[in-house]
Amino acid sequence: MLFAFRTLSLRMPRGLATLLAALFIVTAAARAVIVRGVVTDPLGAVVSGAQVRLIQGTLAVAIGVSGADGSYEIRTADTGRFVLLTAATTFSPNISPDFYGGRTDVVTRNVVLEAASVTEQVTVTTTGISTPIQQASSAVTLIPMKDLATQVGIVNDLRQSPGNVVVQTGQYGGVASLFVRGGNSDANKVLIDGVPAEDTGGVFDFGTVSTTGLSGLELYRGPNSALYGSDAAASVVNLVTPRGSSLRPVVNYSGDAGNFRTYRNEAVVSGAHSRLDYYAGFSRFDTSNTVANDQYHSATSVANIGYNITTNTQARFTLRNADSATGLPGAIGFYGIAASGKQSDQDIYSGLTLENLAAGKWHNLVRYGIARKREQVQQFAPVGEPVTSVFGGVSYTTYYGNTVTIRGANGYSATGQAAFFSPSEDTVANRDELYYQSDYAFPHRMTALFGFRYEDERGRFVDPAAFEDEKIDRPNFEYTLQFQGDVKNRVFYSLGGAVEKNHLYGIAGTPRIGLAYVPVRPSMRKFHGTRLRASFATGVQEPSLAAEFSSLYTELVQSGNQDAIAAYHVTPISEERSRTWDLGVDQNILGQKLIVKAGYFHNQFSHQIEVADSTSLTKYFGIPPSIANQLYGAALNSLAFRAQGAELEAQYQPFTHVFMRGGYTYLAPIVLQSFASDAVAANNGTPTTNPNIPGVAIGALSPLVGSRPFRRPPQTGFFAVEYMRTRFAAAIKGSLASRSDDSTFQLYNDFNGGNTLLLPNRNLDAGFAKLDANLLFTVTRHATVYAQLDNLLSQQHIGPIGYPGLPFTVRAGLKIRFGGM
């Protein structure tokens, strides 16, 4: 072609030949995919001289080098799906997520290179925008997909983070609750592919979440209601489904079996072709557990399908469907025999997202998401010893368990028979959400984000025994504004806030401020790399359906005592609030082979919801006993507590193939205010006690003022040691906890209707050290054998008192891969 232009130039004026050559060059460029961006380190400093390869399949179709300002630009006439492979001296190679490029497309892909001994980590929950974790001012833990490779669920790995306490009431399938930095278990915002997944009011059961279709976990510690709305009062847990990337379809199958009649099967298909990427999976898990009437099974289906409408505009559909059922043997430690019941859960989370990136600076996202959750609790038949009594001319039969001795970790014990309380109920929690986000990267490294969220929450609670069938509908709105950026790659800031209008409690504002400062930049030298961080935030949490239905305001309306609402200034139940500030330092010690993180947090939880009995309603609200006694108690925003503490975390890589990490948390929570009947002077001026343990006040249903909240041990820790070779990997992980306060909850529940089965709260639950291990060996490039060993010490008291944990369990199986590159 160049010869043709030279020949042509001999036959026409030179200016015309030059014009034609220029037109050819422009035309050729117009048919090329142009990929451009900036290469930086995690703190935003430019990296010059980095080699950027554009990879399609297994071939490098174009190569570029970043300039003095870190920018690069490469072109290719090929179209399709690409990845960027970027390398520079002293940095780890970076492989970007795959993307689609068509002719005439200009694709912007900025690259962040990590130090050679540090794994790339990016946080989304901190600011709503993908941000290197080194720039974040918040406490975030990222758990990668590889850590979940042999796990059934996520409970074990949730414990691998400072500040986290996971309490599971029983064995596989038992309700697993997450307490973060002393907050309540319903103060966590849970996102699945950006779609809120918790029940109305924040309740979420982590015990039924399968690892199928999870690319990892992102755990944000602290309130972040400024970005995610109500329920983000203590933490945000972000779960994301992987995306297909292989140019040829890949089918992955894994199957394993273990003791206690446990087996699991999983199949996943994924890939990418031209503008389309796809990922779909299904798994089924079954086990008998070790307790009678406690069989558990779960089936999980996931899908993630993306389509590039244009190179910079993508539509994505995600779906996660989980169906599970578990037996309800109850607190067998209190009864000696298992109840006969079942709990079934059907949960669907789905989202449709449209996302656009214009000129690499202006990002827009709109998402419509749904959550459909239904929980059914059914009792099949009464068990235990029946005792019939007559009250008001009506006969009632109560069933009692065997005679047992309950022993607490605090040394106290009680012997007797407990009455079974076995309700049957049906709960529905549905949510439709429309979310819009627009963020723009201004010059001088500042990004502004605006967000709008609309929610329509609908719920229903059915209790056949109490003849209850109640419904709610809450349309909610939220507006968010946030600014983030940095000054000279040393000072990183985020400043934002949200205004929410909740249908139940009205308008609430949630500001948030974060600041990080790097006085010493990271390098391979000793003690080079210091980051100081601080943040302040507030959070709100909306009441659950049960709290709204049982609130004092609602109870008075339903009992026909509307006049008492005005007379005693009773208002509808309101939002629960949290406020936290924390300080931290991250220090690189041995050329980034040893990194130590330390922090202090101070949380204030106010207007928390608790149930107070008729005595408290009379004492604190002046409601006459004639009215209060009709209510049998009501939910109030009367609980307040404080939780402060310190966190310590270390990451160490002593050798190329060995990686170690561990953490420790000291928590000092205290209840500051409570109107609940057993936290104040009830029972004619005396606190609740066990007559066999005189002089010891007991919080039967909630903690006493001045005591610790239940199920939050003051000391927790974790560790993990991993060894990885090309074909072999092994790890041992540990979760440790000290004793914690709790209750047997046996108020007026012994054989004689008394309190002889109550035990003092202090240190009632046992401490534990749960050790787990896993092994993987790659037999061929298509087959891997693996084993998961849990609870190596076979400790029984991992959950709350009365609920024995699983002893030592083992599963072993095979992973097979078909297709792919």
> What would the pLDDT profile of 100-158 be if each residue is shown by its tens digit?
998 788 899 999 998 765 565 788 888 888 888 888 898 999 999 999 999 999 999 99
Helix (H) or strand (E) holding 30: helix 14-30
User: Is the per-residue pLDDT at 422 higher than 90?
Assistant: no
Q: How confident is the model at residue 25 (pLDDT cuts 50, 70, 90)?
A: very low
User: Is the per-residue pLDDT at 766 higher than 70?
Assistant: yes
Contacts (Cβ under 8 Å, ≥6 apart) of 596: 586, 587, 589, 648, 649, 650
Residue 472 · residue 456 · CB < 8 Å: no
The pLDDT, as a whole number, for residue 75 is: 92
Which segment of 260-264, 546-550, 607-611, 813-817 scores lowest on mean pLDDT?
546-550
User: Is the per-residue pLDDT at 502 higher than 60?
Assistant: yes
Torsion of CA 223, 224, 225, 228, to 10 degrees: -140
How much is the average pLDDT of 445-459? 95
Residue 607 · residue 673 · CB < 8 Å: no
Helix (H) or strand (E) holding 157: helix 155-158
The pLDDT, as a whole number, for residue 26 is: 44
For the ranges 80-84, 391-395, 644-648, the maximum mean pLDDT occurs at: 644-648
d(C-alpha 556, C-alpha 565), whole Å: 7
pLDDT digits (tens, 9 = 90+) for 702-740: 899 999 999 999 999 999 999 999 999 999 999 999 999
User: Is the per-residue pLDDT at 21 higher than 60?
Assistant: no
d(C-alpha 453, C-alpha 459), whole Å: 19
pLDDT digits (tens, 9 = 90+) for 144-203: 999 999 999 999 999 999 999 999 999 999 999 999 999 999 999 999 999 999 998 889
d(C-alpha 220, C-alpha 215), whole Å: 16
Half-sphere exposure at residue 126, Cβ-oriented, CA atoms within 13 angstroms: 27
Residue 264 · residue 813 · CB < 8 Å: yes
Q: How confident is the model at residue 443 (pLDDT cuts 50, 70, 90)?
A: confident
Q: How confident is the model at residue 471 (pLDDT cuts 50, 70, 90)?
A: confident
Helix (H, G, I), strand (E, B) or coil at 701: coil
What is the token pair recorded at 428?
A: 């529905």
What is the token pair recorded at 51?
A: 């080699």
User: Is the per-residue pLDDT at 10 higher than 50?
Assistant: no
d(C-alpha 524, C-alpha 530), whole Å: 13
pLDDT digits (tens, 9 = 90+) for 386-398: 988 877 677 888 9
d(C-alpha 409, C-alpha 140), whole Å: 33
C-alpha distances in Å from residue 448, one per residue of 310, 480, 494, 711, 730: 25, 11, 10, 40, 44
The pLDDT, as a whole number, for residue 89 is: 86
d(C-alpha 575, C-alpha 40), whole Å: 43
Amino acid making up residue 739: R
Residue 288 · residue 261 · CB < 8 Å: yes
How much is the average pLDDT of 413-424? 90
pLDDT digits (tens, 9 = 90+) for 508-521: 999 999 999 999 98
Average pLDDT, the chain: 90
Helix (H, G, I), strand (E, B) or coil at 668: strand
d(C-alpha 298, C-alpha 155), whole Å: 15
Residue 333 · residue 802 · CB < 8 Å: yes
- Taking the alpha carbons at both ends of the chain, their separation in whole angstroms is 36
Beta bridge partners of 342: 327, 378
Among left, alpha and beta (phi > 0; psi -120 to 50; other), residue 14 is alpha
The pLDDT, as a whole number, for residue 105 is: 85
The pLDDT, as a whole number, for residue 91 is: 86
What is the token pair recorded at 513?
A: 């401020």
The pLDDT, as a whole number, for residue 28 is: 44
Q: How confident is the model at residue 592 (pLDDT cuts 50, 70, 90)?
A: confident
**How many Å is the Cα radius of gyration of the chain?**
29
Cβ neighbour number for residue 199 with a 10 Å cutoff: 25
* Secondary structure letter of residue 411 according to DSSP: S
Residue 696 · residue 410 · CB < 8 Å: no
Helix (H) or strand (E) holding 620: helix 614-621
What is the token pair recorded at 618?
A: 């009379």
Q: How confident is the model at residue 773 (pLDDT cuts 50, 70, 90)?
A: very high
In order of start, what are the domains of the chain with their CATH numbers? 31-112 (2.60.40.10), 128-239 (2.170.130.10), 250-819 (2.40.170.20)
Per DSSP, the residues of 467-499 read TEEEEEEEEEEEEEEEEEEEETTTEEEEEEEEE
Residue 789 · residue 797 · CB < 8 Å: no
